[in-house]
């Protein structure tokens, strides 16, 4: 079954096809036999995989949950899911072996794939790794600002890395189209992890450092959006979905966990509640 055939036709085409449907529909479909489920392949990094959210895949190399957003979206769509998202993945791991052991994520794609989702880019920029260097338990000026360090001399190390990554991601989208020419591709951005001004000391990141880190995350999402548009993919804005549900929110309202998680999830990652929201948004974009 092809998503473009199923969802992509315009109203005029649907109306024209209705007149001949009775003549061309296979007998088994007319008899009400169930349709073949959509073939859905989920690609990406830990923002898709869901590290530490129960239940984790027995192969702990990827820290992948069966309650991550691909699982939620697959259930909503009645799709057959092949989830190869992997914590720590970069765009390079889509086409290459991760850790020298795990096969390329692209190996899961085929000409029969109907739907592809992908969340990638944060590890390419080094954002998650650098975020750990932004922890300051004491208020300014006791400590050092990671924003100052990463923008020293008027540059922006992480912003420059994002700009360099963008065309690489565009090439990856083209490869998805080549391998799965009939698939709908859904690209997701990243969430609003920390609100403007932060919430120090509740989350031990100074205001200007939190604003800088979220700004880099927004640049990754903006680049992903632009590449999705340029290469015929759909984009899901996770930043908009998580406003007010960031790491500063009350635990019951959080979709994203802080440096000290309040729920079973990795720090600075979506929790199960957030994954449910993400998954429903991806399913809606796939229809």
Q: Exactly one of 46, 71, 85, 87 is catalytic; name it.
A: 46
Q: Please give the DSSP secondary-structure letter assigned to residue 84.
A: -
Q: Are 274 and 191 in contact (CB under 8 A)?
A: yes
Q: Are 109 and 99 in contact (CB under 8 A)?
A: no
Q: Are 137 and 130 in contact (CB under 8 A)?
A: no
25 backbone dihedrals φ, ψ, rounded to 5°:
-70, 130
CA atoms within a 13 Å half-sphere pointing along the CA-CB vector of 3: 28
Whether the ω angle into residue 201 lies within 30 degrees of 0, i.e. cis, is yes
Q: Are strands 39-44 and 115-119 parallel, antiparallel or unpaired?
A: parallel
CB atoms within 10 A of CB 200: 18
Looking at the DSSP bridge assignments, the partners of residue 116 are: 41, 185
> How many Å from the N-terminal Cα to the C-terminal Cα in the chain?
13
Q: Exactly one of 85, 125, 221, 269 is catalytic; name it.
A: 269
Q: Are 112 and 123 in contact (CB under 8 A)?
A: no
Query: Quick one: tokens of 25?
Result: 């529909």
Residue 269 known to be catalytic? yes
Query: Quick one: tokens of 266?
Result: 């990795």
Task: List residues with catalytic annotation.
Answer: 46, 269
């Amino acid at each position: 079954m092809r998503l473009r055939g199923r969802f992509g036709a315009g109203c005029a085409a649907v109306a024209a096809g209705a007149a001949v449907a009775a003549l061309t529909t296979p007998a088994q479909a007319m008899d009400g036999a169930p349709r073949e489920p959509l073939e859905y392949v989920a690609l990406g990094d830990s923002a898709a995989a869901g590290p530490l959210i129960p239940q984790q895949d027995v192969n702990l190399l990827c820290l992948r949950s069966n309650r991550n957003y691909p699982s939620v979206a697959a259930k909503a769509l009645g799709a057959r899911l092949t989830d190869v998202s992997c914590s720590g993945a970069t765009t390079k791991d889509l086409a290459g072996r991760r850790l020298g052991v795990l096969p390329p994520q692209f190996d899961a794609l085929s000409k029969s794939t109907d739907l592809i989702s992908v969340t990638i880019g944060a590890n390419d920029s080094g954002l998650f790794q650098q975020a750990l260097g932004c922890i300051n338990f004491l208020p300014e000026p006791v400590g050092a600002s990671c924003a100052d360090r990463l923008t020293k001399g008027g540059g922006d190390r992480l912003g420059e890395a994002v700009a360099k990554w963008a065309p690489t991601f565009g090439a990856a989208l083209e490869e998805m189209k080549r391998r799965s020419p009939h698939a709908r591709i859904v690209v997701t951005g990243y969430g609003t992890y920390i609100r403007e001004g932060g919430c120090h000391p509740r989350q031990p990141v100074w205001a200007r450092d939190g604003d800088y880190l979220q700004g880099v995350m927004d640049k990754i999402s903006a680049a992903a959006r632009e590449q999705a548009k340029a290469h015929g993919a759909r984009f899901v804005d996770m930043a908009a979905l998580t406003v007010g549900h960031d790491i500063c929110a009350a635990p019951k309202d959080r979709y994203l966990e802080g440096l000290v998680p309040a729920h079973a999830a990795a720090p600075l990652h979506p929790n199960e509640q957030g994954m449910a929201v993400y998954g429903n948004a991806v399913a809606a974009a796939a229809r």
